[in-house]
Structure 1
Amino acid sequence: MEQLRDSRFGGQGMADRDAGDGARRLMAFLRDQYGRRCLTGQQIGVASTPELDLIRETTGHYPAIGGFDFMDYSPSRTERGSSGKDTELAIDWWRSGGIVTFCWHWNAPQDLIDEPPDKSWSSGFYTKATTFDLARALADEDSDGYRLLLRDIDEIAVQLAKLQEAGVPVLWRPLHEASGGWFWWGASGPEACIALWNLMFRRLTGLHGLHNLIWVWNGQHADWYPGDETVDIIGEDIYPPARSHESQAGRYRLARSFSAEDKIVAMTENGALPDLDAMAAEGALWAWICTWYGEYVYERGGEDGRIAYSGKHTEAERLRAFYAHPLALSRDQLPDLASYPLAGELRAAEGGRA
């Protein structure tokens, strides 16, 4: 299995040069584990959020990483009655010892088609459900489109600030799967999407002073890569056929090729779990996996509609084996990340023992 350098000695810095203590400690931990062990992860649902507890009931462990979404904080959703709860859930998850990752299914700022069922306002993050033109909005900083982009970013900054105030570092994964084109932020091509990424990076770190973020880029094509200076981690979202458990080594190596640096590579979404033994044997030990929610985890059955683990994509025995594997890290195996040693602290400690 490929072993990466110990990044606490001579490793690369973070995209945000003013990254806070919490983000730097979490990043140090991730670097130290990368190439050695894989963190378990699970995305929660939107209307119903049984996934984390169901994983615990099925395996005896909570995942190390909990996945959350700012979708219902998007202004074009809140003005139609949506109300987000993931910020508070994420704070509770961190306080219970878990790691937090956030994506953002960003409802287009304007121009929602709103024709149910496939183009309803609630699907406004999809290209098919909006006529919003990102390239046009970015081309004119005096336009309503550009102003609304900033408004939306600023609204999410409010939530990220709450997390920062609570001491929560965030694996921040905006503008995901852009190269696929099915989300509006990818519909205008790579140049516009990269410009939006850079705008968001500057505005969140600069104007809003958010330094609790580890920037996870998930564009899934080299042409969409914004550059090493604004990316900490590269993510791939992979949905193989049900009960197909390959290591996805080809996708791993492809993601590694997007940067000349030793960027951490994670499977930021997955359906069926990859096989850990195959991952290790094929040199593709992803930093973490984060299984998607709903049918990838549970099903409802019986007259009372009770929730049970489904096994549709990953069999229950295979799930238990994954969480029990010596290469897997679950929440109960995480250190105190708020005090995880940085390079200088480690050297000082080793000097004291000499």
Structure 2
Amino acid sequence: MNETMDRYRVEPRLVNPQADEGARRLMAYLCDMYGKHMLLGQQIGVMSTPEFEILHRETGKYPAVGGFDFMNYSPSRVERGSVCEDTELAIRHWNEGGIVTFCWHWNAPKDLIDLPPDRTWGSGFYTKATTFDVDYAMSHPESEEYRLLIRDIDCIAVQLKRLRDAGVPVLWRPLHEARGGWFWWGAKGPKPYLALWHLLYERLTVYHQLNNLIWVWNGEQADWYPGDETVDIIGVDIYPPARDYTPHADRFREALSFTAMNKIIALSENGTLPDPDRMLAENARWAWCCTWYGSFVYKQSERKEHDYSEEFTELAQLRKLYEHPYTLTREDLPDLKTYRLPETEEPGR
């Protein structure tokens, strides 16, 4: 393998030594295809979820990676009446042959500002909509704030256990976009964020024994990196201008620099889709992309069937992606429930 391709040689070992067979099979597949193909993904909407069907209508195919969100399972939203079915939708996507990734727009556990129109409880994951202090919480483990963090993590563990029990491995991307500071978990800088990351990892992996998780870190800057021992995959979120199909090779190389190890690099969120030919030409071979929902995919309409929106990615460009030999859709995936286990594993694991 030449030097430019050596960056894509990743050992299929997960940071959790107790990772279950489903997670290990998925990681083996991701390592096998990394650098050779990019998986096409799509995040579903929160209240309305027409994205998959619109893409199928326009391309004849479904995205390989389905993006879901635990946002409305957050206790401070549930107590205000929110409901969510993302767990059920994710199980269905997996059983139909797809790959599941989850983020968590974690509504702050308390201290929501509730000032309409843009600082309401419904936007309580944003720094602007809460006075919850993550630095205080992580510095005072005896406090109510810390106890509520544990409560919230335990509530999400319930959903992750439902996925585990259904045999679903999860590309788990919590505490995303921390560097930006627009989410409360990144509002106080790297130190409390890193402490929260390690708390989340320990609580889910050790206490709850959730061994179906592949940990995707999406902190976006080196000094927010929690260390190789708790990160399986590095994700980057990029929203370029409309119809700008750049492969973002500079951001890809930056992500490579976050660790001295070879880690899979994914375009964990995008608006406009990158051009596959340019990705290959510039050697920015993201493992998957996951287009955000709503106006990035369709025009708002009162009709039952929404029209595809060309505002960000033109229809011809979308179809090029879904037909390109470099990209993979759900129809192209192998049976991940029986995919080979990594050859590097010790006998008897």
| TM-score, normalised via structure 1 length | 0.95
What SS does the corresponding residue of 1:40 show, helix, strand or coil? strand
- Per-residue Cα deviation, 1:331-353 (whole angstroms, up to 9, x for no partner): 000000011112339999xxxxx
Matches of 1:178 and 1:164, distance apart in 2: 27
Matches of 2:309 and 2:342, distance apart in 1: 43
The answer as to whether partners of 1:273 and 1:314 remain within 8 angstroms in 2 is yes
Q: CA deviation at 1:17?
A: 1.1
Are residues 1:216 and 2:193 paired?
no
Q: Residue in 1 aligned with 2:36?
A: 36
The answer as to whether partners of 1:41 and 1:67 remain within 8 angstroms in 2 is yes
Are residues 1:266 and 2:262 paired?
no
Matches of 1:87 and 1:182, distance apart in 2: 26
Matches of 1:84 and 1:258, distance apart in 2: 34
Q: Residue in 1 aligned with 2:338?
A: 339
Matches of 2:345 and 2:236, distance apart in 1: 32
Q: Residue in 1 aligned with 2:5?
A: 3
The answer as to whether partners of 2:54 and 2:307 remain within 8 angstroms in 1 is yes
- Per-residue Cα deviation, 1:101-133 (whole angstroms, up to 9, x for no partner): 000000000000011111000000000000000
Q: CA deviation at 1:13?
A: 2.1
What runs of 5+ residues in structure 1 fail to find an aligned partner?
Answer: 349-354
Q: Residue in 1 aligned with 2:52?
A: 52
Q: CA deviation at 1:95?
A: 0.3
Change (3 A) 1:19 1:304: closer
- Per-residue Cα deviation, 1:200-226 (whole angstroms, up to 9, x for no partner): 000001110100000000000011000
- Per-residue Cα deviation, 1:245-298 (whole angstroms, up to 9, x for no partner): 001000000001101011000000001001101111111010000000000000
Are residues 1:318 and 2:320 paired?
no
- Per-residue Cα deviation, 1:158-217 (whole angstroms, up to 9, x for no partner): 000000000000000000000000000000110100110000000001110100000000
Are residues 1:130 and 2:130 paired?
yes
The answer as to whether partners of 1:38 and 1:287 remain within 8 angstroms in 2 is yes
Q: Residue in 1 aligned with 2:171?
A: 171
What SS does the corresponding residue of 1:339 show, helix, strand or coil? coil
Give runs of aligned pairs for residues 168-317 of structure 1, distance below 5 A: 168-301=168-301, 304=303, 306-317=305-316
Are residues 1:103 and 2:77 paired?
no
Amino acid at match of 2:278: A
Q: Residue in 2 aligned with 1:77?
A: 77
The answer as to whether partners of 1:4 and 1:35 remain within 8 angstroms in 2 is no
The answer as to whether partners of 1:3 and 1:36 remain within 8 angstroms in 2 is no
What SS does the corresponding residue of 2:128 show, helix, strand or coil? helix
Matches of 1:107 and 1:38, distance apart in 2: 32
Q: Residue in 2 aligned with 1:351?
A: none
Matches of 2:73 and 2:104, distance apart in 1: 9
What SS does the corresponding residue of 1:216 show, helix, strand or coil? strand
Q: Residue in 1 aligned with 2:328?
A: 329
Q: Residue in 1 aligned with 2:141?
A: 141
The answer as to whether partners of 1:6 and 1:32 remain within 8 angstroms in 2 is no
Q: CA deviation at 1:4?
A: 3.6
What SS does the corresponding residue of 2:343 show, helix, strand or coil? helix
Q: CA deviation at 1:5?
A: 7.1
The answer as to whether partners of 2:266 and 2:288 remain within 8 angstroms in 1 is yes
- Per-residue Cα deviation, 1:31-78 (whole angstroms, up to 9, x for no partner): 011111000000000010000111111111100000000000000000
- Per-residue Cα deviation, 1:282-328 (whole angstroms, up to 9, x for no partner): 11010000000000000034x74741100110001100010100000
The answer as to whether partners of 2:267 and 2:288 remain within 8 angstroms in 1 is yes
Matches of 1:24 and 1:57, distance apart in 2: 33
Matches of 1:282 and 1:5, distance apart in 2: 14
